[in-house]
Amino acid sequence: MVEPSRTDWWLLEDVAVFLGSSKSTVTAYRSRGQLPAADTTFGRSPAWRPQTIRDWAARRPGQGWRKTT
């Protein structure tokens, strides 16, 4: 994972850089409730403390994980 250049708050673009995903993928995670709630907003832009995203990423299932029955 790559650390974005912003250090205080991460916007959707920063989360995407950290995850190695596109902004649209991160937006989809957020709309499906798969991303943690934003720590704050700047106008209409959600923002997270970097540690919030790091902790969440450490707990999420790996790439390609699927629940089996």
Task: List pLDDT tens digits, range 4-42.
Answer: 667 799 999 999 999 999 999 999 999 999 999 999 999
Phi, psi for 48 (deg, rounded to 5):
-125, 150
pLDDT of the residue at 6? 72
pLDDT of the residue at 60? 85
Q: How far apart are CA 44 and CA 56, in angstroms?
A: 22
Hey, which bits of the chain come out as E strands? Answer: 40-42, 45-47
Query: Has this prediction a pTM greater than 0.85?
Result: no
Report the Cα 66 to chain-centroid distance in Å: 19
DSSP SS3 for 48: strand
Q: How far apart are CA 10 and CA 51, in angstroms?
A: 10
